[in-house]
Structure formats: structure tokens, C-alpha cells
């Protein structure tokens, strides 16, 4: 019997892996623009970290962790999320003291023992970010803007997503709200489902998160946190909205957002979609001003988010995000026929790859027709068949397997020059005496240097790639000559 993967643990095949990588690259780019630095953390922690950090009565800690016990009897769990681990590392490595305003990002596998379904897995992947030491609502707005820069128009641009924000109050106002909520829920206790009855005593705000349609009316009539916010929390939330407006980030206030983890205070947000069935959240996050202290660190606020890579990737697939562009611009199929030509092609492949060109060397000696049909499958742009005839004639036909030509690409680059020039003019106006990068030089010099090197780049590109087939044929002849020496 063959061995299968574990239920809820997925293989990510190349086509999906390319979308994963694209999302990760877009995220890295955005993190750099917001001055976040990467942190890499263990995938397993002592269970107590999650129990304390996420909350002992949350679904995650109560029933979703993969836990094992070490030889000393200590329980350890695969991480169900990243925030608790980041906070532990932030405290344990002294960053809370040396860099209390650290802004950190991370990515990787998370594990939750949930019932697998569309968009929900037992091993899944997140990209997350955490910003410490800044309690200002502008920091909340920036964190949210960063998330939207990854998933929205400026990032992978998935369609049909919605940013929902809420304030869930703090230690000053939430207990009063909880009391009001429990009073209300008790009035309807007879109609509550089993889960909600249990939550009524353990974690009443989670009742609002019930997915059971039978509970919808009760949830809809419940008192809202918004009505119970204290002045400080209301002011903070107003600030978040004001800054989001200023940054042009569109949002909807949804008073039903409660989040499934206990560490949140004040701002909570989710990016949702109705395109993935029951799994509507593609990203979530919020402020957690008490968590660093709770986990043994100093009193420092924090805020962050995590996005679910599988869910965003599923949307990218539905949107048919053009991954062709992501692939190598020109993958060259190099097809040798006969042993001498195989050696020649091995040399040619080495040379082309050295020039930064992607090459698939067809070394399996199959029929030419089979090889040609494979060129299509793997998305080759050009094919070069190298047989005895080509060697004898010292010439080669470079077959263009697709219609689009390099020339289009070149036009795009050329059109970019005036844009860059105008960008530099703006810089020049703003920094009349100094360039940002090269402080000792004046702007005019820096400008001409930048523009010069860009033009250089373009002309090199034009020279070497404008007529790629001709250039490839030249490389072929060069290798041939080399071999004959
Ligand atoms: P979360 O809402 O539990 O937040 O998870 C964030 C995202 O991970 C979800 O929106 C979803 O896209 C994805 N996700 C969660 N569970 C699964 C699953 N079983 N299968 C596939 N995707 C899943 C957190 O984890 C917080 N640590 C976020 C945060 C960071 N808050 C502050 N900082």
C-alpha cells in the first residue's frame, strides 16, 4: 500500500508554489518599505506559551493544538500562530529592552487541528508582522495599510476582499461590556446552541463569532462593544479611522469582529472575502497592549497581523493572476540530437545560464516530437534543436514558440525613462542640495549618475537581448568555435 500525506497536510505543487513565492516576494517588498525586519522562529514552543498568550479557553488552545510531551513531562506544541512566539523571542532575546520599538515580520507553517475543508488545513502558512512599543493610533493605521499594501491593489491585488475593523475595548471598558453581553445572552439561554452555552461561561464574546445560522438572530440583537467603549478607546478608534482615511485605505466598521484569540485590545481587524465558502477570513490582526507584560516582559504595547497564504493564493488562482510574467522571461529549450551535440549543448547551457538566461536542457534522448510537446508544457519561449546539420552549417534556427516579442518589453522599458526623469526632478526639488543616498555629492551629479546608469542598463539590455534569436545563434557559434580549438 502506498503511503499518503497526513489529512489536512498538503503538498504545494509548483504552480501553487509559484503563487506562494510571488505573494512572499510582494510581502517582503512591502515590509522593506515599512522598515520591518525579519525574524525566524521555532515551529514548536512549550504549550504553556500558547495557553497563556492566546488564552486557555480559546478554540485554538482548547482543542486545536498538536501537542507532545518531552522526556521531562513538559508539554510542547507545534505553533498554531506566530504572535506568541514573536513576543517570547522579543522578551527572551532582550529586544524588549534594546529595541522596544522593534518591527518584525515572519512567515512559515502553522498547525491547527481543525476539521479540514476548503481553505482550512491542519498545516497552513502565514505571513505575519508585529510592531512593538507604539500605542499611537497612527501605528494601527500604518499596520493595516501595510497589510492592504500586500493583498490590495499595490500588492497581489486579489479581487473581492474587504477590510473590516472594530474596537474591542480594553481592560477599562470590556468587563462592563462582557457583563451586559452575558445579561443579554442569559435572557436567550434556552435558544443557545451547545457551543454558545459553554462559551457563555468561559468566553462570552466568542458567542458573537458563532457560525451557526440558528444563532444569527440572537447575535444580531446582542449589545455591541461600540456602545460600551470608554472615552480613551473611542478616541483611539476615531484616530485609527482618521489616519486610515488620510492614507486612502478603505474600510468597513464591523462591530461583530471579536477575533478568536484572547490577547487583543482595542483595534481588531480582518480582511474577508465571500469567495472561499465558509472560510471568509484571509487575514486578521489587531492590537495586543497587554501581551508583552502577560508573557513576562515590560509593559509595552504591540500590534500586528497575519495573512493566510493558502487563502490568498486560492484567490490569486481564481483571479488568474498572470504568473507567466513571474516565470523567466525567456526559458530556452535546448534540444541536442546525438552524443557530440549533447556535449555542445551542455557547454552552451552553461554559457547561457552564466548570462542569466534560463535554460531547460533536454537530456533524456526522447523523440523530437515528444520533446517539442514538453517545451509547451513547461512554458519555453524559444527552442533550439542542435543536431549534426546545425553543427555542419554552423547555424541554428531559433524557433520562437510564442507570439509576443522582446521588442514589446523594450518599449516598456523605454517608456519608463521619462517617468524616472520626472521622479528625479521631484527629488531634486525636494532635496536641492543633497541626494538622499550620496550625501557628499550634489543632486545634479547624483541625478545624472542615476539616469546614466539606468540608460546604460537599458542599452546593455537592448544590445544583448533586442534580437535574442540572433544573439542565441551567436552564442551557439561561439561555443562551437571554442569546442573546435
Ligand atoms: P488568525 O486570525 O488566527 O490570527 O489567523 C490569521 C490568518 O491565518 C487567517 O485570517 C487565515 O487566513 C489563516 N488561517 C488560520 N487558520 C487557518 C487554517 N486552519 N487553514 C488555513 N488558513 C488559516 C493569527 O494567527 C494572529 N497571530 C494574527 C496576529 C498577528 N494578530 C496580531 N498579530
Taking the centre of ligand 1 as the mean of its atom positions, its distance from the CA of residue 448, in whole angstroms, is 47
Ligand 1 atom with minimal separation from the 126 CA: 8
Q: What is the pLDDT tens value at each position of the chain, 485 positions in all?
A: 899 999 999 999 999 999 999 999 999 999 998 999 999 999 999 999 999 999 998 999 999 999 999 999 999 999 999 999 999 999 999 999 999 999 999 999 999 999 999 999 999 999 999 999 999 999 999 999 999 999 999 899 999 999 999 999 999 999 999 999 999 999 998 889 998 998 888 889 889 888 888 888 999 999 999 999 999 999 999 999 999 999 999 999 999 898 889 999 999 999 999 999 888 999 999 999 999 999 999 999 999 999 999 999 999 999 987 665 444 456 899 999 988 999 999 999 999 888 878 888 998 888 888 888 888 888 888 899 999 999 999 999 888 887 544 344 445 555 666 666 677 677 667 665 544 444 445 555 655 666 666 556 555 544 545 578 888 899 999 999 998 88
Query: Is there an atom of ligand 1 within 6 Å of 82 CB?
Result: yes
* Cell 546604460 belongs to residue: 456
Look at residue 459 in the predicted model and tell me its pLDDT: 56
What grid cell was written down for 254? 464591523
Query: Is there an atom of ligand 1 within 6 Å of 302 CB?
Result: no
Alpha helices in 6-115 (DSSP H): 14-33, 47-54, 59-63, 83-92, 95-98
- Distance of alpha carbon 317 from alpha carbon 282, whole angstroms: 14
Query: Is there an atom of ligand 1 within 6 Å of 83 CB?
Result: yes
Where would I find the beta strands (DSSP E) of 260-394?
265-273, 281-287, 302-308, 331-336, 358-361, 382-386
- Distance of alpha carbon 268 from alpha carbon 427, whole angstroms: 37
Ligand 1 atom with minimal separation from the 288 CA: 32
Query: Is there an atom of ligand 1 within 6 Å of 60 CB?
Result: no
- Distance of alpha carbon 296 from alpha carbon 282, whole angstroms: 31
Give nearest CA residue, ligand 1 atom 2: 284
C-beta separation of 272 from 162 below 8 A: yes
333 closest CA partner among 366, 378, 370: 378
Fold that domain 14-168+235-318 belongs to in CATH: BirA Bifunctional Protein; domain 2 (3.30.930)
Query: Is there an atom of ligand 1 within 6 Å of 301 CB?
Result: no
Query: Is there an atom of ligand 1 within 6 Å of 164 CB?
Result: no
Look at residue 436 in the predicted model and tell me its pLDDT: 46
Give nearest CA residue, ligand 1 atom 14: 308
Query: Is there an atom of ligand 1 within 6 Å of 107 CB?
Result: no
Ligand 1 atom with minimal separation from the 122 CA: 19
- Distance of alpha carbon 371 from alpha carbon 365, whole angstroms: 9
- Distance of alpha carbon 229 from alpha carbon 208, whole angstroms: 17
440 closest CA partner among 449, 80, 196, 413: 449
Tell me which of 9, 64, 81 to substitute to probe ligand 1's pocket, judged by most ligand atoms within 8 Å of the beta carbon: 81
CA 336 to chain centre: 40
C-beta separation of 335 from 383 below 8 A: yes
What would the CATH number be for the domain defined by 331-403+469-484? 3.40.50.800
Q: What's the CA angle centered on 268, arms 263 and 273, to 5 degrees?
A: 125
Taking the centre of ligand 1 as the mean of its atom positions, its distance from the CA of residue 214, in whole angstroms, is 25
Query: Is there an atom of ligand 1 within 6 Å of 282 CB?
Result: yes
- Distance of alpha carbon 361 from alpha carbon 64, whole angstroms: 47
Query: Is there an atom of ligand 1 within 6 Å of 120 CB?
Result: yes
Same topology between domain 14-168+235-318 and domain 331-403+469-484: no
Give nearest CA residue, ligand 1 atom 10: 283
Residue boundaries of the structural domains of the chain: 14-168+235-318, 174-228, 331-403+469-484, 406-465
Ligand 1 atom with minimal separation from the 270 CA: 10
Tell me which of 306, 307, 309, 316 to substitute to probe ligand 1's pocket, judged by most ligand atoms within 8 Å of the beta carbon: 306
Ligand 1 atom with minimal separation from the 81 CA: 25
Give nearest CA residue, ligand 1 atom 16: 120
- Distance of alpha carbon 140 from alpha carbon 136, whole angstroms: 7
Query: Is there an atom of ligand 1 within 6 Å of 269 CB?
Result: no
Amino acid at each position: 500500500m502506498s503511503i499518503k500525506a497526513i489529512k489536512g497536510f498538503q503538498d504545494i505543487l509548483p504552480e501553487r508554489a509559484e503563487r506562494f513565492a510571488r505573494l512572499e516576494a510582494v510581502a517582503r517588498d512591502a515590509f522593506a518599505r515599512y522598515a520591518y525586519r525579519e525574524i525566524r522562529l521555532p515551529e514548536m514552543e512549550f504549550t504553556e506559551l500558547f495557553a497563556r498568550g492566546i488564552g486557555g479557553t480559546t478554540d485554538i488552545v482548547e482543542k486545536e493544538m498538536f501537542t507532545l510531551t518531552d522526556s521531562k513531562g513538559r508539554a510542547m506544541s507545534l505553533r498554531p500562530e506566530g504572535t506568541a512566539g514573536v513576543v517570547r523571542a522579543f522578551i527572551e532575546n532582550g529586544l524588549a529592552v534594546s529595541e522596544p520599538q522593534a518591527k518584525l515580520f515572519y512567515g512559515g507553517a502553522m498547525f491547527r487541528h481543525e476539521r479540514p475543508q476548503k481553505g482550512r488545513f491542519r498545516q497552513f502558512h502565514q505571513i505575519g508582522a508585529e510592531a512593538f512599543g507604539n500605542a499611537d493610533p497612527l501605528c494601527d493605521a500604518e499596520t493595516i495599510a501595510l497589510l492592504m499594501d500586500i493583498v490590495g491593489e499595490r500588492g497581489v491585488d486579489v479581487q473581492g476582499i474587504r477590510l473590516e475593523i472594530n474596537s474591542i475595548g480594553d481592560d477599562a471598558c470590556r468587563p462592563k461590556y462582557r457583563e451586559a453581553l452575558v445579561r443579554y445572552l442569559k435572557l436567550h439561554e434556552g435558544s443557545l446552541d451547545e457551543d454558545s452555552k459553554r462559551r457563555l461561561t468561559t468566553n462570552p464574546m466568542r458567542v458573537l463569532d458563532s457560525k451557526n445560522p440558528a444563532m444569527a438572530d440572537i447575535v444580531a440583537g446582542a449589545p455591541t462593544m461600540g456602545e460600551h467603549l470608554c472615552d480613551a478607546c473611542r478616541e483611539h478608534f476615531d484616530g485609527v479611522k482618521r489616519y486610515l482615511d488620510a492614507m486612502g485605505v478603505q474600510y468597513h466598521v464591523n462591530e461583530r469582529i471579536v477575533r478568536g484569540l484572547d490577547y487583543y485590545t482595542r483595534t481588531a481587524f480582518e480582511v474577508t472575502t465571500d469567495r472561499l465558502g465558509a472560510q471568509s477570513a484571509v487575514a486578521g490582526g489587531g492590537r495586543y497592549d497587554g501581551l508583552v507584560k502577560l508573557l513576562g516582559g515590560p509593559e509595552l504595547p504591540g500590534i500586528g497581523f497575519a495573512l493566510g497564504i493558502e487563502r490568498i493564493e486560492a484567490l490569486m488562482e481564481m483571479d488568474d493572476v498572470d504568473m507567466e510574467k513571474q516565470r523567466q522571461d525567456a526559458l530556452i529549450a535546448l534540444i541536442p540530437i546525438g552524443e557530440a551535440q549533447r556535449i555542445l549543448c551542455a557547454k552552451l547551457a552553461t554559457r547561457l545560464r552564466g548570462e542569466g538566461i534560463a535554460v531547460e536542457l533536454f537530456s533524456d534522448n526522447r523523440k523530437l516530437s515528444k520533446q517539442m510537446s514538453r517545451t509547451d508544457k513547461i512554458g519555453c519561449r524559444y527552442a533550439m534543436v542542435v543536431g549534426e546539420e546545425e553543427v555542419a552549417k554552423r547555424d541554428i534556427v531559433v524557433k520562437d514558440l510564442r507570439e509576443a516579442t522582446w521588442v514589446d518589453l523594450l518599449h516598456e522599458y523605454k517608456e519608463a525613462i521619462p517617468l524616472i526623469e520626472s521622479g528625479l526632478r521631484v527629488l531634486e526639488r525636494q532635496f536641492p542640495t543633497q541626494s538622499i543616498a550620496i550625501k557628499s555629492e550634489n543632486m545634479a551629479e547624483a541625478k545624472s549618475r542615476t539616469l546614466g546608469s539606468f540608460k546604460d542598463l537599458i542599452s546593455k539590455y537592448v544590445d544583448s537581448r533586442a534580437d535574442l534569436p540572433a544573439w542565441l545563434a551567436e552564442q551557439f557559434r561561439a561555443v562551437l568555435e571554442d569546442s573546435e580549438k
